[in-house]
Amino acid sequence: MDLDLSAFHFLRPWWLLGLAAAAALWWARRGDRHPPGRGSRIAPELLPFLVVHAPGSRGPRPIDALALLLAVGAVAAAGPAWQRDEPEYLDNVAPLIVAMDLSPSMDAADVPPSRIEAARHLLRDLAAHRAGARTGLIAYAGSSHLVLPPTDDTGLLDLFAQALSTGLIDRRGRDAAGAIALAARVLQAERAGGTVLLLTDGADRSGLAAVRERAQAAAGLQVLVMAVGAEGGQGGIDAAALRDLARAAGAPLGSLTRTADDLDWISLHAQQHFRAVQDAQAGPAHWKDAGYWLCWPLALIALLAVRKGWSVAWTACLVAAMTLGAPPPARAGPLADAFLTADQQGRLAFDHGRYAEAASLFRDPYWKGRAAYQAGDYAGALAAFTGMDSAEGYFYVGNTQTRLRQYDAALAAYDRALALRPGWEPAAFNRDIVKRLLAAMTSEDQGEQSEPPDQTLQDKAVQAGKMKAAPVAQAASEDLWLRNLTLSPARFLRGKFAAEDAAAGGAP
């Protein structure tokens, strides 16, 4: 939540006219307390002996309490506000792409066990620290390649991050400009206000002009640079080159310390930039109404109505209450039903990892499907996402169909998502994986039909002269293909990077 006392204001300022009404009422009745015996026919010299000063005849008068009640009520109804009214989970949704340098120097051991291992460890901790937010991954050396589009699946992100090594990209160099441009293209499909973090131990000064050009052309993109490695000494990082890189990209420069400060530094920069861009695009901000805090002093003032010696026009109060109308009936059920909608309760359960409960609470089809997907209820997730006629809906239909091993249906869903949002990187990336999987499965099926048996054995005990093929274990199941895809992401990435470099004609 943003707290900005300098932005204190009233949401409904016309209610402040009640202050004038309270002051006018008090002023008009200020002389109601008459001296005892005023207007009486009793001789003034006898009055002191005849007047009884009962308890309650001194102190504040009913008009004082009524005027104060009106004044405080007017301020409460005016809606004092100084705090933004935004869901807490928005603090953690700033889209982020980590661009990891895979140059050979990242194998240096000045940051034990190595710079590349320290960068992978940082990425794993960062994804856990930003649970619920989307984090993507880019690998770059002499060329830049998308490893994983922004995702909130921390397990999948860690799987591909651990597969990164300095030998995956054949082309040598540090294409920081290409990494920034690629991140800008990927983040166009995400919410505005994305950030790209360069994890590197050096910079190519010949490419700084391109870095400056790409960073300036990427509207709404924030660049962060974090140095990985020790400064000074033999094999240390080139601090001057990194400062030049940060200056060219207009980026803050940090150093990897392997403490929680690294995570806070990255997250705070990403959140602040995301919030600034969102505020600029969304127009007037929404503010939290703090007037309800004045209910407590209003209740204390109302207690004066039962002070001995005072009287309350209860009939008038009842008529006023009936005129204003009765409050809407509250839903029966737990206490949460009285204060939170079903979707809000579902979000709380989702954030705390209770996905099955969240799926039963959500009414919004997107979040209902997301919760069911996380809970492993793929049939329920498919039913929820199928009702969404949007790119996001078809994207998650494709993901769910893949989990259900309906690869042709998944491919069709990704095609539909790309038709609604051309060039959407997450859908294109997942479609490419499913297409490769189908091609590999088809190739193996054909190989099984065409290959002869590895050996033949004569079974004399059963029937002389008959030959039979000995069964040979084959890796033909879909589960095994998925397992192979999971267990060898490095081979998959190496082939992907080489194919992309070949398609680009060797240009970064």
- Whole-number pLDDT of residue 505: 67
- Whole-number pLDDT of residue 56: 46
Distance CA 297, CA 299 (A): 5
Mapping DSSP onto H, E and C, the string for 81-150 reads ECEECCCHHHHHCCCEEEEEECCHHHHCCCCCCCHHHHHHHHHHHHHHHCCCCCEEEEEECCCEEEEEEE
- Whole-number pLDDT of residue 143: 93
pTM over 0.85: no
Q: Are residues 134 and 194 located together in one domain of the fold?
A: yes
Q: Are residues 11 and 94 located together in one domain of the fold?
A: no
Distance CA 157, CA 153 (A): 6
Q: Are residues 190 and 274 located together in one domain of the fold?
A: yes
Distance CA 244, CA 208 (A): 8
CATH code, domain with 261: 3.40.50.410
Q: Are residues 154 and 24 located together in one domain of the fold?
A: no
Q: Are residues 19 and 126 located together in one domain of the fold?
A: no
β-partners of residue 99 are 138, 198
- Whole-number pLDDT of residue 465: 44
Q: Are residues 303 and 252 located together in one domain of the fold?
A: no
Which of 221, 252, 282 is the endpoint of a domain? Answer: 282
Q: Are residues 246 and 309 located together in one domain of the fold?
A: no
Q: Are residues 15 and 130 located together in one domain of the fold?
A: no
- Candidates 391, 350, 287, 290; CA nearest to 92 is 350
Enclosing domain of residue 1? 1-28+60-82+288-326
Q: Are residues 152 and 295 located together in one domain of the fold?
A: no
Give the pLDDT of the chain (508 residues) as one tens digit per residue.
444 556 688 888 888 888 888 888 888 876 555 555 555 677 777 767 766 655 544 556 777 777 888 888 888 888 888 776 554 444 457 889 999 999 999 999 888 889 999 999 999 999 888 887 889 999 999 999 999 888 888 888 888 888 899 989 989 899 999 999 999 988 876 656 789 999 999 999 999 999 999 999 887 889 999 999 887 656 678 889 999 999 999 999 999 998 999 999 999 998 888 877 766 655 455 667 788 788 888 888 777 666 555 555 555 555 554 544 444 443 334 556 656 788 888 888 888 888 899 999 898 888 899 899 888 888 899 989 888 888 888 989 988 888 888 888 888 899 998 988 888 888 888 888 888 777 766 665 555 454 455 444 444 444 444 444 434 333 344 444 444 544 467 777 888 888 888 887 654 4
H-state helical runs in 250-390: 260-282, 295-302, 314-324, 335-339, 342-351, 355-361, 365-375, 378-386
| Residue at 254 is within a domain | yes
Which of 282, 315, 347 is the endpoint of a domain? Answer: 282
Distance CA 250, CA 256 (A): 19
Q: Supply 319's token pair.
A: 């008529």
| Residue at 419 is within a domain | no
Q: Are residues 278 and 292 located together in one domain of the fold?
A: no
Which of 282, 302, 317 is the endpoint of a domain? Answer: 282
Q: Are residues 175 and 303 located together in one domain of the fold?
A: no
Q: Are residues 184 and 75 located together in one domain of the fold?
A: no
Distance CA 209, CA 19 (A): 62
